[in-house]
């Protein structure tokens, strides 16, 4: 008959291993904390950061589910959901009885676009470089006004250029940003600015963007963009348009990104809320 002390001994070993995993983290401030972000996403972010930093190198195994539960003070369901997302991102693989292993990045020419919150939107814009080609004040004609949800004859600051994820690679997309003329003064900051534009409006003008509406539509790459995007004219495109609204309902900014469909994949997670 097994000794009653054996389960306690095993738990003690697991706790020690979980403590060693915590101590090995490069930046403990990146552990999940109390925030509005779901716990499983906090676990995903912490483990992704460790994989990128080499705390868990390719070929190594992640801590067990039990160790992760103890480390992050979360349920087994939360840990399993986090591991599922890591598998979907092709960062790890799991096999019954063999644990979860860190795998090499999958070669792909697709740009994965995953946005689930304002914070993720900021991360997306920070992760790509916006090379501005033109900045000018324009007056909307009927066609453009209909496209961005404005009135014909309105004045907007138009900022256009390509976005890149890495030097030497084809552009991620062609970007058009239309900024309400009331906030056009931020144009002088854009040549030295990196990251998303809408926080500049909030910081300089004391405004607050409370809603971002996104829509995705299929189309074709026009001849004028084909060469810059390094695709054939008439190739399928996906146009991602985001409209940024202030608390009073005004449009502060409209951003339109035209992606070659062959390089674009949109990923979104939806969860059922129990009512």
Flag whether pLDDT at 37 surpasses 80.
no
Flag whether pLDDT at 197 surpasses 60.
yes
Q: What is the pTM of this model?
A: 0.57
How far is the C-alpha of 126 from the C-alpha of 121, rounded, in Å? Answer: 9
What integer pLDDT is reported at residue 15 of this predicted model? 58
Backbone dihedral region of 86: left (phi > 0), alpha (psi from -120 to 50 degrees) or beta? Answer: alpha
Residues 6+ apart with CB under 8 A from 162: 130, 131, 133, 171, 172, 173, 174, 175, 228, 229
pLDDT band at 108 (very low <50, low <70, confident <90, very high): very low
125-151: per-residue pLDDT in tens? 556 788 999 999 999 999 999 999 999
Residue 51 in contact with residue 94, Cβ under 8 Å?
no
What integer pLDDT is reported at residue 72 of this predicted model? 94
What is the pLDDT averaged over residues 208-222? 90
pLDDT band at 96 (very low <50, low <70, confident <90, very high): confident
Domains of the chain, CATH where assigned? 8-102 (1.10.10.10), 111-265 (3.40.1410.10)
131 HSE (CA, 13 A, CB side): 13
What is the pLDDT averaged over residues 189-197? 86
Q: Between the CA of residue 72 and those of 75, 159, 181, 238, what are the distances in Å?
A: 9, 43, 47, 39
Backbone dihedral region of 186: left (phi > 0), alpha (psi from -120 to 50 degrees) or beta? Answer: alpha
- Tokens 């300089």 appear where? 204
How far is the C-alpha of 256 from the C-alpha of 249, rounded, in Å? Answer: 19
């Amino acid at each position: 008959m097994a000794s009653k002390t054996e389960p306690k001994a095993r738990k003690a070993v697991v706790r020690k291993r979980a403590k060693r995993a915590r101590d090995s983290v490069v930046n403990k401030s990146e552990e999940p904390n109390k925030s509005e972000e779901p716990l499983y996403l906090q676990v995903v972010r912490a483990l992704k950061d460790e994989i990128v930093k080499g705390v868990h190198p390719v070929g190594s195994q992640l801590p067990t589910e039990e160790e992760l539960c103890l480390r992050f003070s979360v349920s087994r369901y939360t840990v399993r959901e986090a591991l599922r997302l890591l598998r979907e991102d092709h960062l790890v693989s799991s096999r019954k009885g063999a644990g979860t292993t860190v795998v090499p990045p999958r070669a792909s020419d697709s740009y994965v676009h995953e946005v689930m919150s304002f914070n993720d939107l900021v991360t997306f814009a920070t992760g790509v470089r916006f090379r501005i080609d033109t900045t000018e004040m324009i007056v909307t004609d009927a066609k453009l006004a209909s496209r961005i949800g404005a009135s014909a004859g309105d004045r907007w600051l138009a900022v256009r250029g390509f976005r890149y994820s890495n030097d030497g690679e084809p552009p991620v997309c062609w970007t058009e940003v239309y900024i309400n003329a009331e906030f056009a003064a931020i144009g002088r900051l854009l040549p030295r600015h990196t990251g998303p534009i809408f926080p500049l409006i909030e910081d300089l003008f004391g405004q607050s963007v409370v809603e971002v509406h996104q829509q995705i539509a299929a189309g074709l790459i026009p001849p004028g963009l084909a060469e810059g995007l390094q695709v054939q004219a008439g190739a399928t495109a996906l146009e991602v348009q985001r409209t940024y609204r202030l608390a009073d309902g005004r449009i502060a900014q409209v951003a339109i990104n035209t992606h070659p469909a062959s390089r674009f994949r949109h990923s979104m997670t939806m969860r059922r809320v129990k009512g």
